Amino acid sequence: MRHIVTVTILVLLAAGAASAQTIVQSRGVDARVDYASLADLGPWDDRNYKLNQNDLALLGENEGELSVRAPLFFRIELRRRFGDLPTSGPVQYPRSTLPRFLTEYGGFLIDGVLYRKAQLVDGRFAVDTSQPWMSEEEYIELAGKSLTGDVRVTTPVGAAESAVAINPADPNLVISGSNGPGSGQRMQYSTDGGETWNAAAALPLGGTCCDPTVAWSSDGAKAYSATLGSSSVYVYRSGDGGQNWDDLVNEPGADPRRELGGGTDKEYLHVDTYATSACLDTVYLTWHESNIMKFSRSTDMAHTWTSPVSLSSGSSERGIGSDITSDKNGRVYYIWPAFSSKTILVRGSDDCGVTWDPTVVIASTQASFDFPIPSIDNRYTWVHVAAGADLSNGPYGGSVYAAWTDSTAPDVGSPSANHARIQVAYSRDGGATWGVSTPHETADADTVDRWNQWLAVGDDGTVHVVFYDTRNDPSRTSVDFYWSTSTDGAVTWSTPTILTSEISPKMEDFFQFGDYNGLDVVMTELIGVFTDNRNEGGLTTDSPDIYAAGQLLGGGGAIFADGFESGTTDSWTSATP
Higher pLDDT, 519 or 157: 519
pLDDT for the residue 141: 63
Cα separations (Å) of 480 from 175, 468, 546?
23, 6, 13
- Angle, helices 97-105 vs 72-81, to 10°: value is 100
- What are the pLDDT digits (tens) for 406-436? 999 999 999 999 999 999 999 999 999 999 9
- Determine the Cα–Cα distance for residues 493 and 565; give it in Å rounded to an integer: 10
- Determine the Cα–Cα distance for residues 487 and 465; give it in Å rounded to an integer: 12
Torsion angles phi and psi, residue 570, rounded to 5:
-85, 0
* Omega before 156 within 30 of 0, i.e. cis: yes
Which of 120-129, 289-298, 371-380, 504-513 is the least confident region? 120-129
Task: Tell me what the mean pLDDT of segment 381-405 comes to.
Answer: 96
pLDDT for the residue 572: 34
Three-state DSSP at 252 gives coil
pLDDT for the residue 117: 78
Torsion angles phi and psi, residue 456, rounded to 5:
-150, 155
Closest CA to 528 of 570, 474, 480: 480
Task: Tell me what the mean pLDDT of segment 322-350 comes to.
Answer: 97
| Number of other CB atoms surrounding residue 549 within 10 Å | 27
37: left (phi over 0), alpha (psi -120 to 50) or beta: alpha
- What are the pLDDT digits (tens) for 277-292? 999 999 999 999 999 9
Q: Which residues pair with 294 in a beta bridge?
A: 287, 310
In percent, how much of the chain has pLDDT > 70? 89
The alpha carbon dihedral of 356, 359, 362, 365 has a sign of: positive
Residue 502 carries which side chain, given as an amino acid letter?
A: E
pLDDT for the residue 135: 85
Domain annotation for the chain: domains and CATH numbers: 6-140 (no CATH), 147-575 (2.120.10.10)
pLDDT value at 529 more than 50: yes
pLDDT for the residue 399: 98
HSE on the CB side for 31, CA within 13 Å? 4
Q: What is the DSSP letter of 81?
A: H
Confidence at 12, pLDDT banded by 50, 70, 90? very low
Q: For every residue of 183-250, which 3-state class applies, written as one string?
A: CCEEEEEECCCCCCCEECCCCCCCCCCCCCEEEECCCCCCEEEEEECCCCEEEEEECCCCCCCCHHHH
pLDDT for the residue 140: 66
pLDDT for the residue 559: 27
- Determine the Cα–Cα distance for residues 223 and 241; give it in Å rounded to an integer: 7
Closest CA to 224 of 283, 154, 305: 283
- Determine the Cα–Cα distance for residues 39 and 123; give it in Å rounded to an integer: 12
The alpha carbon dihedral of 339, 345, 351, 357 has a sign of: negative
123: left (phi over 0), alpha (psi -120 to 50) or beta: left
| DSSP per-residue letters across 106-124 | -SEEETTEEE--EEEETTE
pLDDT for the residue 137: 79
Average pLDDT, the chain: 87
| Number of other CB atoms surrounding residue 463 within 10 Å | 28
Rounded to two decimals, the pTM is 0.75
**Residue 61 CA to its chain's centroid (Å):** 37
Higher pLDDT, 106 or 331: 331
| DSSP per-residue letters across 124-179 | EEEE-TTSEEEEHHHHHHHHTTS--EEEE---SS--EEEEEEE-SS-TT-EEEEEE
Three-state DSSP at 370 gives strand
